[in-house]
């Protein structure tokens, strides 16, 4: 699959982007390079491979090195809420937007 400058113009119009002529050319080249990588990936024979439900499944029974869940930052709630227009009981008050 190869995109032309007309395709880039149409995509830019649909995305409401204003592209300069040099940007159009560069974007066309970058997108065509990306599609080239996709085509190479499609050529790889994946028959007989079972999709993973989660990337961690590849580790099997290996123990993952996860960091400890500990508090590392001080509580700065009051300092962070000083610039808020309205605060009550430590919570930000916002106007109702859904009826």
**Is residue 91 scored above 90 in pLDDT?**
yes
Q: Enter the pTM of the model.
A: 0.49
8 A C-beta contact, residue 8 and residue 24? yes
- Residue identified by tokens 């007989």 is 48
37-73 pLDDT, tens per residue? Answer: 999 999 999 999 888 777 766 666 666 677 888 999 9
CATH of 5-42, one of 1.10.3470, 2.40.50, 1.10.20, 1.10.132: 1.10.20
And the tokens for 92?
């930000």
- Where do the DSSP E strands lie in 28-86? none
Q: Quick one: CA dihedral 8, 13, 17, 19, positive or negative? A: positive
Q: What is the pLDDT of residue 67?
A: 82
User: Would you kindly state where each structural domain of the chain is located, as residue ranges?
Assistant: 5-42
Percent of the chain clearing pLDDT 90 (strictly above): 69
Share the mean pLDDT of the chain: 88
């Amino acid at each position: 699959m190869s995109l032309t400058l007309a395709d880039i113009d149409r995509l830019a119009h649909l995305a409401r982007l204003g592209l300069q002529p040099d940007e159009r050319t560069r974007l066309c080249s970058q997108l065509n390079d990306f599609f080239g990588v996709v085509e190479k990936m499609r050529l790889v024979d994946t028959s007989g491979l079972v999709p993973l439900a989660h990337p961690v499944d590849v580790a099997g029974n290996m123990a993952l090195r996860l960091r400890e869940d500990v508090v590392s930052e001080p509580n700065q709630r009051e300092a962070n809420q000083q610039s808020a227009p309205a605060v009550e009981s430590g919570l930000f008050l916002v106007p109702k937007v859904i009826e």
